[in-house]
A and B are shown apart, each in its own frame.
Chain A
Amino acid sequence: MRLGSPELALLVLALPFVSFLVLALIRPLRRSGRPAALVSILAMAGALGAAAALTWQAIPVARDVNPSVLWSWLPADGGPMASVGVWVDGMAMQMCVLVTLISLLVQIYSSSYLADEPPASLGRYYAYHSLFAFSMLGLVLSPGFLQMFVFWELVGLCSYLLIGYWYDRPSAARAAVKAFWITKLGDLGFVAGIVMLWAATGTFDFWPLFQAAQAGTLQVDGLATIMFLIYLGAVGKSAQFPLHIWLPDAMEGPTPVSALIHAATMVTAGVYMVARAYPLFALVPSVLMLIAWVGAFTALLAATMACVERDIKRVLAYSTVSQLGYMMAANGAGAPGAAFQHLTTHGVFKALLFLGAGIVIHHFHTNDVFRMGGLFRQRPWVGGAFLVATLALAGVWPLPGFFSKEAVLGAVLDAHLSVPFLMLIATSFLTAFYMFRVVFLTFFGHAHAEHHEHPAPPIAMDAVCRALAVLTLALGLRAALTGHHAEGPAWLPWISLAWAGAGIVLAWTVYQARAVDPARLSAALAPIDILARRRYFLDAIFAGAYRFLLLGLSQVIGWVDRYVVDGVLNALSAGALRAGDTLRRLQTGRAQDYVYGVALGVLLLLVWAQLG
């Protein structure tokens, strides 16, 4: 275990927050657009530097050293109720680097991507970005459930704000609200779980909880229920079945926002939380089993939907859901390390995929992959970078996705979860297929319509993609050279490579060589095809539940409000009005009539005083 300096961690946390405060409070700066972007980017660069220094300066310590620094909070009778602070272990530090790096690159990219936005909106965008980075870093560095929950909700708020960045588009506003409410559904479980845990143990802090859990002295009734509720928070945040439906709609936000949400700041929070609280989850095998099954099922389900999606961003969104399923499956299989490894590598190449997709969309002015084609010849660098990321996602040696996916698969196999393992293997085939489907349709094949003129993507966007591609390659090569191998049977890498290869070949056959008509392929798989195209009716089920349960309940409440509550109030107000109408005659407005009143009052007082 490695321990970082808490001061540096606080600096990492403070820089984006200061940037947010500056942008939020100084209105002229915010509304000036590009200077606001510069402030945010500089702060983010500083935070990245601090995070790197934090990792660099970290010192190895024994496992039983408390990595958190706490300050008491919420004073109450008999000591503080909770504490805030920072928890600086290896996972947190690595996550800090990932979050600040992706945030920085996305912010640089956005300055070009959103160059046409009005300056005021651009300033708002960067203020949200800074707050987003701050919230995620706070979540990562949380030393306890309560602080984690606070930042957890802040992350949800920021994703709402950024998904709804173009709030004047009805679809964006609806997607933002959907993302917010669906994740809130999971958060209900999360908050109930941590409050129950607090009621049972009297603390929100990780360290005492983990110590007790590892020593086997944590005696909590219904721990399985509590951990299941906490897991529900991760289900919402990390888009696990059945709460995954918000993530594809979240594509209504600007593309860089999608990159940020998918790679570093939003959806990873759930995986990170489960990995962080793993010592507690380890006590309840039933919940772990559930996590693994749901994860693997989510991975497969999302992969099938990605295969039939025409919108390039939605394909990527489903692939994120699918990869999150991998991570959760690893968590459930008892390998939070593998989950976290996949989280980081996935963060890098998924950011690259989204930012590359941003350039693609910029080029074709459409999201529909069937109306694209032949981009590779015009933009070999973009194509190369996208291809690197695609190969990484498909899990091809020697890219980082290969190693982390192998670690996940090895862990699931190790835990004797054979059905989830088969689902994940199938998913890796589908992943290769749908990603190369996008690559062949977009970058190869022939251009559909003659576009007039396409300026090269701005240097900033291009440079960010190249940097991420280089980083992806470097991560992969490092893993390959250090021989960092997950345990598992020797045939495992070959199997997963073979399936990935099969997926690529199938995609090539169908969409490049056109040896097989896609229509016949979907006809052959008709039931799945139809279900996947309809998104397994999950959106419809949610909409129906919303309509019948929520709206029905609202109607009942509305009726009660209209006729019972309002009726009482109306009767009261009508009575008051009538009484006022009668009593107003007392007010003649003539001064002497009031003197009569005064004199009568004095008389009454006199009589009363004498009789009393």
Chain B
Amino acid sequence: MPLAAYLVLAALVFVIGLFGVLTRRNAVGILLGIELMLNAVNINLVAFARFRADLAGLVFTLFTIAITVAEVAVGLAIVIVIFRVRRTIEADHLDLLRG
């Protein structure tokens, strides 16, 4: 398969994730969308690494995965704290910063 096929697939997954982030009301749902987007990026990185025979892409993917794990852990911890305080994880209700 050509490189473009992988890139189109990655782009598709990316915008699906973006759609999730934009539309989900639930904070955990938003986090899932972010996971999808990061995943799409990983596909891109690995595809470029393979087609350009450059190891850096693989190393970057490793890093991305590890950072994603950290992000999920912290993000979920924050969600739990918010839930504890506000009794909701509806993102629409979390608008303390409204101008």
User: What band does the interface of chain A fall in when counting residues whose beta carbon is under 8 Å from B?
Assistant: 10 to 19
Binds A, one of B41-49, B51-59, B87-95: B87-95
Closest residue of A by beta carbon distance from B96: A589
Q: Does A585 contact B (CB under 8 A)?
A: yes
Q: How far is the CB of A142 from chain B (nearest CB, A)?
A: 64
Q: How far is the CB of B5 from chain A (nearest CB, A)?
A: 20
Please, how many angstroms separate the alpha-carbon atoms of A564 and B91 in the complex? 49
In the complex, chain B residues whose CB is within 8 Å of the CB of A589: 94-99
Q: Does B21 contact A (CB under 8 A)?
A: yes
Q: Does B30 contact A (CB under 8 A)?
A: yes
Please, how many angstroms separate the alpha-carbon atoms of A585 and B18 in the complex? 24
Check B97 against A587 for contact (C-beta < 8 Å).
yes
Contacts A596-B22, A599-B18, A599-B22 known; A591 to B94 CB distance under 8 Å? yes
In the complex, chain A residues whose CB is within 8 Å of the CB of B96: 589
Q: How far is the CB of B29 from chain A (nearest CB, A)?
A: 11
Please, how many angstroms separate the alpha-carbon atoms of A589 and B30 in the complex? 16
Of the candidates A583, A586, A595, the one whose C-beta lies within 8 Å of that of B22 is A595
Task: Scan residues 558-612 of chain A and give those whose CB is less than 8 A from a CB of chain B.
Answer: 583-592, 595-596, 599
Q: How far is the CB of A39 from chain B (nearest CB, A)?
A: 61
Chain A proximity mask over B66-96: 1 for CB below 8 Å, otherwise 0: 0000000000000000000000000110111
Closest residue of B by beta carbon distance from A594: B97
In the complex, chain B residues whose CB is within 8 Å of the CB of A592: 21-24, 30, 91-92
Check A590 against B94 for contact (C-beta < 8 Å).
yes
Please, how many angstroms separate the alpha-carbon atoms of A590 and B23 in the complex? 12
Please, how many angstroms separate the alpha-carbon atoms of A596 and B22 in the complex? 7
Please, how many angstroms separate the alpha-carbon atoms of A144 and B69 in the complex? 77
Q: How far is the CB of A589 from chain B (nearest CB, A)?
A: 3
Check B99 against A587 for contact (C-beta < 8 Å).
yes
Closest residue of B by beta carbon distance from A591: B91
Contacts A595-B22, A596-B22, A599-B22 known; A590 to B95 CB distance under 8 Å? yes
Check A585 against B30 for contact (C-beta < 8 Å).
no
Check B91 against A587 for contact (C-beta < 8 Å).
no
Closest residue of B by beta carbon distance from A587: B99
Q: Which of A584, A591, A599 has the most CB of B within 10 A?
A: A591
Q: How far is the CB of B97 from chain A (nearest CB, A)?
A: 4
In the complex, chain A residues whose CB is within 8 Å of the CB of B22: 592, 595-596, 599
Please, how many angstroms separate the alpha-carbon atoms of A590 and B27 in the complex? 11
Check A585 against B99 for contact (C-beta < 8 Å).
yes
Of the candidates B18, B24, B92, the one whose C-beta lies within 8 Å of that of A590 is B92
Please, how many angstroms separate the alpha-carbon atoms of A589 and B92 in the complex? 9
Chain B proximity mask over A171-200: 1 for CB below 8 Å, otherwise 0: 000000000000000000000000000000
In the complex, chain A residues whose CB is within 8 Å of the CB of B18: 599
Check A595 against B95 for contact (C-beta < 8 Å).
no
Check B95 against A586 for contact (C-beta < 8 Å).
no
Chain A proximity mask over B12-24: 1 for CB below 8 Å, otherwise 0: 0000001001111
Q: How far is the CB of B56 from chain A (nearest CB, A)?
A: 23
In the complex, chain B residues whose CB is within 8 Å of the CB of A599: 18, 22
Q: How far is the CB of A438 from chain B (nearest CB, A)?
A: 78
Q: How far is the CB of B38 from chain A (nearest CB, A)?
A: 15
Please, how many angstroms separate the alpha-carbon atoms of A599 and B22 in the complex? 9
In the complex, chain A residues whose CB is within 8 Å of the CB of B91: 590-592
In the complex, chain B residues whose CB is within 8 Å of the CB of A587: 97-99
In the complex, chain A residues whose CB is within 8 Å of the CB of B24: 592
Please, how many angstroms separate the alpha-carbon atoms of A599 and B14 in the complex? 12
Please, how many angstroms separate the alpha-carbon atoms of A585 and B95 in the complex? 12
Check B21 against A586 for contact (C-beta < 8 Å).
no
Q: How far is the CB of A232 from chain B (nearest CB, A)?
A: 62
In the complex, chain A residues whose CB is within 8 Å of the CB of B98: 587-590
Contacts A585-B99, A589-B99 known; A595 to B21 CB distance under 8 Å? yes
Q: How far is the CB of B82 from chain A (nearest CB, A)?
A: 11
Please, how many angstroms separate the alpha-carbon atoms of A588 and B91 in the complex? 12
Of the candidates B23, B92, B94, B99, the one whose C-beta lies within 8 Å of that of A586 is B99
In the complex, chain A residues whose CB is within 8 Å of the CB of B99: 583-589
Q: How far is the CB of A590 from chain B (nearest CB, A)?
A: 5
Please, how many angstroms separate the alpha-carbon atoms of A591 and B99 in the complex? 13
In the complex, chain B residues whose CB is within 8 Å of the CB of A595: 21-22
Q: How far is the CB of A594 from chain B (nearest CB, A)?
A: 9
Please, how many angstroms separate the alpha-carbon atoms of A476 and B18 in the complex? 106
Please, how many angstroms separate the alpha-carbon atoms of A583 and B18 in the complex? 26
Please, how many angstroms separate the alpha-carbon atoms of A583 and B98 in the complex? 12
Closest residue of B by beta carbon distance from A580: B99
Please, how many angstroms separate the alpha-carbon atoms of A599 and B96 in the complex? 22
Chain B proximity mask over A323-341: 1 for CB below 8 Å, otherwise 0: 0000000000000000000
Closest residue of A by beta carbon distance from B98: A589
Q: How far is the CB of A611 from chain B (nearest CB, A)?
A: 19
Please, how many angstroms separate the alpha-carbon atoms of A384 and B75 in the complex? 96
Closest residue of A by beta carbon distance from B18: A599
Q: How far is the CB of A531 from chain B (nearest CB, A)?
A: 73
Please, how many angstroms separate the alpha-carbon atoms of A592 and B93 in the complex? 11
Q: Which of B24, B91, B96 has the most CB of A within 10 A?
A: B91
Cross-chain pairs A/B with CB under 8 angstroms, 18 sampled: A586-B99, A587-B97, A587-B99, A588-B99, A589-B95, A589-B96, A590-B91, A590-B92, A590-B95, A591-B30, A591-B91, A591-B94, A592-B21, A592-B23, A592-B24, A592-B30, A595-B22, A599-B18
Known: A589-B96, A595-B22; 15 extra A-B contacts, CB below 8 A, are: A583-B99, A585-B99, A587-B99, A588-B95, A588-B98, A589-B94, A589-B95, A589-B97, A589-B99, A590-B92, A590-B94, A590-B95, A592-B21, A592-B24, A596-B22
- Smallest CB-CB A-B distances: 5 pairs: A587-B99, A589-B98, A589-B95, A584-B99, A589-B97
